[in-house]
Amino acid sequence: MLLRTFGWSFGITVLGLVAAFFYGGWTAFGVVAILTVLEISLSFDNAVINAGILKKLSAFWQKIFLTIGVLIAVFGMRLVFPVVIVAISAELSPLEAVDLSFNDPDRYKELVTDAHPSIAAFGGMFLLMIFLDFIFAERDIQWVRWIERPLSRLGRVDMLSVCVALIVLLTAALTVATHAHQHGGEHADKSETVLLSGVAGLIAYLVVGGLSSFFENRLEAGEQEGDEQADRGGSATSATALVGKAAFFMFLYLEVLDASFSFDGVIGAFAITNEIVLMTLGLGIGALYVRSLTVYLVRQGTLDDYVYLEHGAHYAIGALSIILLTTIRYEINEIITGLVGVVLIGLSFWSSVRRNRALAADGDDAGPTPAQQA
């Protein structure tokens, strides 16, 4: 099971490290290894969230997530995305931006740093909406009850998460964005840029998430109608087309989600290296492990066994969104960003273990079940 899920990750790791060695010797080898660990540590919460969505998809779409999705994640977000950011911010053609990344990596890093406010605002708002929709939803299982219980009651107010997100965005635009961090330690007023990018991130979440929910609801309604017809003796309605549409938009939602999680990894990578080749190799290998971990969590049913993991991941998402918005003005070490997610998920895992032990102890105290007696 482990080898089948992580086999490609292990193989690509070896090839990537060998390629790095031939590209730049042991120094490049070490840089790629560090970037791989950085990406995995920063994106572990991404794997948990993705697993909660991916378990709703068929085995076919899970394979698509591991194949086409990996190509999008590695080449789209870890190679093309930084180049596009530089091209747009510096008003260059994509070819000029690629040439700049290879021949003048320092200038390339400066342009990406200057574009960081728009990146952070877009990604921060997208991730914040994920957290708010989770924390305002009513659910049977609650982890931090003194927080989640009153917030779930407030969540009955329509569009509350959107209102809170817009308030946070406006606050960021009027505070941290007025002295946004730029290269060379300088600061500039990026309020308008942050507002536009943040609204774009909010729209992206509402459109992609809304389409995913729409087709998922259509699928459930079609399946229910088919079951009712079968109960009446008729033929069940086929929901194949609905499955395809629902799966496609959920896959699209996963890719946008992964893109939002990638922002901090891509930006953080510039603190380690300016070379686009090493950056793509290290972050790409890390992204592949994150995807393999997502599928492993789904196939093992880990989220069902450790029920607070999803809570911890969403709290990590909320923390990451605030960190991203804060980095518009202040530099925050990537180690701190990674540790916040790891600590929150670790605490949720330990709480899940304690819950399982308590339930097992209660079961033992209750005596054998009728099935065990039989």
Residue 368 pLDDT > 60: no
Tracing tokens 């921060």 back to the chain, one arrives at 124
Average pLDDT value for the chain = 76
Residue 182 pLDDT > 50: yes
- The pTM (predicted TM-score) of the whole model is 0.70
- Higher-confidence residue of 70 and 238: namely 70
How does DSSP classify residue 27? Answer: H
Domain ranges of the chain: 2-357
- CB half-sphere exposure, 240, CA atoms < 13 A: 1
- pLDDT the model gives residue 370: 37
Query: For a pLDDT cut of 90, what percent of the chain falls above it?
Result: 6
- pLDDT the model gives residue 242: 36
- For residue 132, the Cα-to-chain-centroid distance in whole angstroms is 15
- pLDDT the model gives residue 298: 77
Q: What is the mean pLDDT of residues 64-83?
A: 74
Q: Please, where are the H alpha helices in the chain?
A: 2-54, 59-66, 68-71, 81-90, 94-103, 105-114, 116-135, 145-154, 160-174, 191-231, 240-269, 276-300, 302-305, 309-326, 334-365, 370-373
